[in-house]
């Protein structure tokens, strides 16, 4: 028996005498003890005393009784019993002393509870979306508005009391505001680039807002959940008609460009690129002279089937049904594929010769379990055949060839993979593999494939802001006391209070929405460096490169896909004295200047939110002329894909204000990163009017 007690069977604290374990008798052999009037008799019960007293299996135990395996406790826990015990207590342990651990749902961990329910065979939602299964946010079969009511719960972490509060957030009201703006602004039958962009940006802003609320609900036991935020937001948009290209069509989709990227299948559905949220083949019934036949509109190749994707311009696509590799791994019954539904549509499209849209699902470098969906343009089906799959069943195969003359998409991704893997790259135009000389946690390459210029003018690379003299705060900030890190809904956190009772970032580090001023934790806070409220302080998270543009000098782009709301970088440089800048007047050199006193339109906000533009608490002007970072190379655009956000880090006496940049929407690799330089008030323009070269449909022609 002694040998059977392995290392894993012994608790991780305290010590014990194994000989006592060998002397333990079965529970049926233990005799209960009753309190007595005198210590000499254990079996006589005094009048008025309880006939039987038992002790919890976890103690505390009387002095003459030692705990036995597996109930080991520290000697300190015995002290109250030794001081207060008046009568002997039985060392018998009743069976009902063993308690079943509380359920996962009782602890607010609904995801764990759903996993447990699945293991027990209980029915679950088939779509992963409560709306699609006829359920509301409370998982009941009734209709209701998903309004988050205020809840409060006191939690404890590491001896620290945490008050968890959920402010009132009406998602339906947000959706109604989005619908009003969408209806009033985009009335045309066919969608355009602007309406598609608005639908996608609004969708992701709502998805991030729902995510923000759901992360707070996770910490409140019993709080109703509304399912996956991406599906929830998509369902609300579809039900309200906030979508583009609702009329399904063959060929190109208005407002959608080759190379566009998406991080959720629901986004493909909202813009009319691919209707099914799960299926890989989208098809439409088309009438011919005699009957209606299905024709394929689009396909998604994301690795679920045995597709061949090595060639950038040729795709060998496997049909649907019967042989899914996931079913093969799960041990499900496998069958031959049938020439029906999507498979039949692909066969009909082969003979009809219509164009088919191809979306490729690729691995998301920032999320190992996620995917990035890339629209790779139009293909034609050239041939089909039946083959034996890995499961041994018959599989339909279709060879699709990309139409010539389209912009590159998947080809760019494959080239980037090659550049990253090569130790000695042969890439054309590469000047430096890392112009930061190790100052950043990721290398920043320097490339010129336009002309013979060998690089920008010399400057010193620094990764953060440099104040020439401290700026005193009007109100000193003590910082938060969140020792383990700031958590959603913690009403005790001073940083959360300053951000309107919300953490400004999701758990993935995405900015929920643009604010006039964002408060991050700083040197005066007790939270660790990996706190969720220190996103802009951890350096670069995507591979950037400085490149030579055709007509705007040097610019900045990314080798990685960028999600909407992702932090890009901060504007590093030397803080200038604003009075000195005003004295310079027309001699003021602003080629590498960031001026926080300029105004621009807010980008990362939803209709109904505060329209107050980003505003620094004091005039901030940064020069990146002689010392700076990659931000100095970002060019201006009247339709930017990057927004700037003032970020104030908590310090006791001195202001620690920074300018951080975030993605407005999803940005494909090799796309130039731009932000709106803004407009200086006319009385302070110093005759610095410049011609705008952004080429946007919203171009103002000039900027200051």
pLDDT digits (tens, 9 = 90+) for 624-649: 999 999 999 999 998 999 999 999 99
Q: Which of 197, 225, 244 is the last residue of a domain?
A: 244
Number of structural domains, the chain?
3
The position carrying tokens 């009406």 is: 170
- Label residue 382 by pLDDT band (50, 70, 90): very high
Mean pLDDT of 504-515: 94
Does 509 score more than 90 pLDDT? yes
CA distances from 194 to 181, 258, 271, 558, 565 (A): 13, 16, 12, 23, 19
**What CATH number did the domain enclosing 454 receive?**
2.170.270.10
Let me know whether 417 and 435 are in one domain: no
CA distances from 374 to 207, 263, 342, 379, 425 (A): 20, 9, 21, 14, 25
Q: Confirm whether 56 is domain-assigned.
A: no
Let me know whether 389 and 415 are in one domain: yes
CA 601 and chain centroid, separation: 25
Residue 436 is predicted with a pLDDT of 95
Let me know whether 383 and 469 are in one domain: no
Q: Output 244-248 pairs: Cβ under 8 A, ≥24 positions apart.
A: 244/186, 244/191, 244/195, 244/196, 244/199, 244/270, 244/271, 244/272, 245/190, 245/191, 245/196, 245/271, 245/272, 245/273, 246/272, 247/272, 248/272, 248/275, 248/282, 248/284, 248/297
Residue 578 is predicted with a pLDDT of 64
Q: Confirm whether 605 is domain-assigned.
A: yes
Let me know whether 360 and 455 are in one domain: no
Closest to 622 (Cα-Cα) out of 674, 661, 662? 661
Does 150 score more than 50 pLDDT? no
Closest to 358 (Cα-Cα) out of 411, 416, 280, 415? 280
Does 177 score more than 50 pLDDT? yes
Let me know whether 205 and 292 are in one domain: no
- Angle at CA of residue 658, ends 655 and 662, nearest 5°: 150
Closest to 248 (Cα-Cα) out of 353, 354, 401? 354
Q: Confirm whether 80 is domain-assigned.
A: no
The position carrying tokens 């090659």 is: 418
Maximum distance among all Cα pairs of the chain, rounded to whole angstroms: 107
Range name among 94-103, 232-241, 264-273 with the lowest pLDDT average: 94-103
Distance CA(528)–CA(364), nearest Å, equals 27
Domain limits at 291?
255-421
**What CATH number did the domain enclosing 294 receive?**
2.30.280.10
Does 236 score more than 80 pLDDT? yes
Mean pLDDT of 414-442: 88
Range name among 265-269, 336-340, 611-615 with the lowest pLDDT average: 611-615
Mean pLDDT of 413-425: 83
Tokens at residue 355, please? 């164009």
Let me know whether 510 and 631 are in one domain: yes
With a pLDDT cut of 70, the percent of the chain lying above it is 69
Does 381 score more than 90 pLDDT? yes
The secondary structure element, H or E, covering residue 171 is helix 171-185
Residue 95 is predicted with a pLDDT of 39
Tokens at residue 292, please? 């209606």
Does 106 score more than 80 pLDDT? no
pLDDT digits (tens, 9 = 90+) for 437-465: 999 999 999 999 999 999 999 999 999 99
Mean pLDDT of 151-160: 54
Residue 563 is predicted with a pLDDT of 97
Does 180 score more than 60 pLDDT? yes
Q: Confirm whether 37 is domain-assigned.
A: no
Q: Confirm whether 367 is domain-assigned.
A: yes
Let me know whether 240 and 265 are in one domain: no
Pairing between β-strand 465-466 and β-strand 573-576 as defined by DSSP bridges: parallel
Does 704 score more than 90 pLDDT? no
Q: Confirm whether 536 is domain-assigned.
A: yes
Does 487 score more than 50 pLDDT? yes
Q: Is 619 exposed, middle or buried (0-12, 13-18, 19+ CB in 10 A)?
A: middle
pLDDT digits (tens, 9 = 90+) for 240-264: 999 999 999 999 999 999 999 999 9
Residue 582 is predicted with a pLDDT of 55
């Amino acid at each position: 028996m002694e040998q059977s007690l392995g290392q894993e069977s012994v608790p991780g604290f305290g010590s014990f005498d194994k000989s006592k374990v060998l002397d333990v008798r079965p529970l049926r052999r233990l005799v209960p003890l009753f309190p007595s009037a005198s210590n000499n008799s254990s079996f006589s019960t005094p009048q008025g005393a309880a006939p039987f007293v038992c002790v919890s299996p976890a103690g505390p135990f009387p002095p003459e009784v030692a705990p036995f395996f597996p109930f080991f406790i520290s000697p300190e826990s015995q002290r109250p019993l030794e001081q207060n015990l008046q009568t002997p207590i039985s060392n018998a342990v009743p069976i009902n002393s063993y308690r079943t651990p509380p359920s996962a749902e009782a602890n607010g961990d609904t995801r764990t509870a759903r996993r447990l329910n699945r293991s027990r065979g209980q029915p679950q939602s088939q779509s992963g979306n409560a709306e699609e299964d006829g359920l509301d946010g409370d998982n009941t079969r009734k209709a209701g508005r998903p309004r988050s009511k205020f809840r409060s719960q006191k939690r404890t972490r590491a001896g620290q009391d945490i008050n968890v509060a959920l402010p009132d957030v009406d998602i339906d009201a947000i959706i109604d505001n989005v619908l009003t703006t969408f209806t009033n602004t985009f009335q045309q039958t066919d969608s355009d680039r602007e309406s598609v962009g608005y639908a996608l940006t609004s969708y992701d802003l709502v998805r991030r807002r729902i995510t923000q609320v759901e992360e707070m609900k996770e910490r409140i036991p019993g709080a109703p959940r509304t399912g996956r935020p991406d599906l929830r937001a998509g369902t609300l948009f579809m039900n309200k008609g906030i979508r583009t290209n609702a009329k399904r069509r063959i060929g190109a989709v208005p407002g959608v460009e080759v190379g566009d990227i998406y991080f959720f299948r629901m986004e493909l559905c909202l813009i009319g690129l691919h209707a099914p949220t799960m299926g890989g083949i989208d098809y439409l019934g088309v009438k011919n002279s005699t009957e209606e036949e299905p024709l394929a509109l689009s396909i998604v190749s994301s690795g679920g089937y045995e597709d061949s994707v090595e060639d950038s311009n040729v795709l060998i696509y496997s049909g649907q049904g019967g042989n899914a590799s996931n079913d093969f791994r799960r041990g499900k019954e496998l069958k031959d594929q049938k020439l029906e539904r999507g498979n039949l549509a692909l066969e009909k499209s082969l003979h009809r010769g219509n164009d088919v849209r191809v979306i490729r699902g690729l691995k998301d470098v920032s999320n190992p379990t996620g995917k990035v969906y890339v629209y790779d343009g139009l293909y034609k089906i050239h041939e089909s055949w039946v083959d034996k799959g890995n499961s041994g069943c018959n599989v339909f195969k279709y060879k699709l060839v990309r139409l010539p003359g389209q912009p590159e998409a998947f080809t760019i991704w494959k080239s980037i993979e090659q550049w990253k893997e090569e130790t000695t790259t042969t890439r054309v135009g590469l000047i430096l593999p890392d112009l930061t000389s190790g100052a950043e946690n990721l290398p920043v390459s320097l490339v010129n494939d336009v002309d013979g210029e060998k690089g920008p003018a010399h400057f010193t690379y620094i990764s953060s802001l440099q104040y020439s003299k401290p700026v005193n705060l009007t109100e000193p900030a003590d910082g938060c006391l969140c020792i383990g890190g700031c958590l959603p809904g913690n009403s005790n956190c001073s940083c959360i209070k300053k951000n309107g009772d919300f953490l400004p970032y999701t758990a993935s580090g995405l900015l929920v929405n643009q604010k006039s001023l964002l408060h991050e934790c700083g040197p005066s806070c007790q939270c660790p460096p990996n706190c969720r409220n220190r996103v802009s302080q951890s350096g670069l998270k995507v591979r950037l490169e400085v490149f030579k543009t055709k007509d705007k000098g040097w610019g900045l782009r990314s080798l990685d896909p960028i999600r909407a709301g992702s932090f890009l970088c901060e504007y590093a440089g030397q803080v200038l004295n604003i009075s000195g800048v005003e004295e310079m007047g027309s001699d003021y050199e602003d080629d590498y200047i960031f001026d926080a006193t300029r105004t621009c339109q807010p980008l990362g906000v939803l209709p109904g939110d505060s329209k107050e533009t980003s505003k620094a608490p004091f005039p901030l002007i940064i020069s990146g002329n002689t010392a700076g970072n990659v931000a100095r190379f970002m060019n201006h655009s009247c339709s930017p894909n990057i927004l700037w956000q003032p970020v104030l880090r908590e310090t006791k006496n001195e202001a620690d204000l920074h300018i951080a940049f975030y993605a407005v929407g999803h940005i494909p690799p090799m796309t130039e990163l731009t932000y709106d330089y803004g407009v200086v008030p006319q009385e302070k323009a110093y005759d610095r009017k410049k011609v705008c070269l952004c080429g946007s449909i919203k171009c103002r022609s000039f900027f200051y």
